[in-house]
Structure 1
């Protein structure tokens, strides 16, 4: 706790760019570490549904200290139905992502997940009626081309894990849009807590159907997965809040580097040139969209309507 406070104090005194760089790099490293744990557990015979369920059980346990401090009043919400739907979509997102990590190269999955801001921008136009410029749509098209470079349909066997990764992106982007709406009424911690609770309840039956008795090592890895999930979310959100997207997001590219390194170290996976090219194209497109979104006035080519 003291060490954490010392690190937080040190970061608070740094320039915004340094804060964003450190926080986003930690988030990227946490993502790659989580991917390794998921693959390890899957290779060890634990079903994906069970991995996701135990991850959320431990996630709830990590939320208990906050609940004890905030009190049960922090769980009050006027939109339980929306939280439930978001929990279902989040469960689908995690099931697809973990399924992808279980059978596809880790670096390839990491590259595909860079599509999240791109798909999210499409949903923003459809759901929130945000107005996109011609350059915005060009960046979206470039991002999808990058995804095709990684997946390469029509050029030999397509790993079904990459299709699961695309499913994870679609579900995850929808969840992100729902969070945008829920955050108007509920605190970030309340939203996070309901995510763990709803996801755990939804995942109980699928996990029970495929359940295998975990050993202590597997339980420890699931606990680490739950803790890493909290760290990834908090550091990413704070990193994005510390500086502009053009400053913060480039550090998130280290996710692909860490994923490639860990895939090589632990599973002898070597990403091919197309993975790096496609991942870079997707990432640059997502950075452009994130850093240029919301400019201009409603009704203009480059603006968006107020919420």
Structure 2
């Protein structure tokens, strides 16, 4: 059977032959796999490309210079939380991160532009959340270090293209992650054996909801997926709902902002300490300084649920916006 390869395949092949670095060669080989039609006539060719990709990636990993400390996938967490932005190729992950942060990931209309993760800081009021643009997921091959990065993240933002079969994209992405023991936290009760599984909170983001004309697509998508899937929609192109997405991430990360006040001075309301919901005065003291929790004598709190300057115990649960004065 003839392979009947499309022109895009030969264009990718030309770029592959002209590539000078191994990562570029891998990216163009993956381009060739993506545009290649799936039928019996291409089975051997697909297998050959996958073998070539595997060899190149093994060569990269075997280099001593790519120890874990030097790996592009080892990204230190910063800000109020680390959000891994994941999905298949060409759903708009890089454009989203570029629109929301100070990062400059390469953005293009063709797939597989991103081959290494790119972190950026997203400002939300007086704090920042770290977004990490990740290489596209691909059922033919997933970089093990990418999976490790996703497992380490605090939250997963799963991006789908609302205008190109988002249901299939969601199902295939979740299936692929589940194969690697990464499970949405809201599905945790469905698993009896949980020892080797990593449960992480998810938000499904339907991108390319550009205007009222695509709202119908969103409603159809919402009806076709399980009701318990947390869902938000945006348009990176028009900026629609980007501010809503920011606040949704803050809510889903379940974080609070707490401000420090030195005795006899005004509170510093510009640089909050970010804690998980349910954190106590003792947790806050440890966040301010590692020795403060042990040496803490008393604390005063200004905020909801207390009168100004009320003395509280170290196990007092703090609320978002509380001001705390520690006495050591």
User: TM-score, normalization: structure 1?
Assistant: 0.22
Which is strand-richer, 1 or 2? 2
Taking structure 2 as the reference length, the TM-score comes to: 0.21
Higher relative contact order, chain-length normalized (CA < 8 Å, sep 6+): 1
Which protein shows a greater Rg?
2
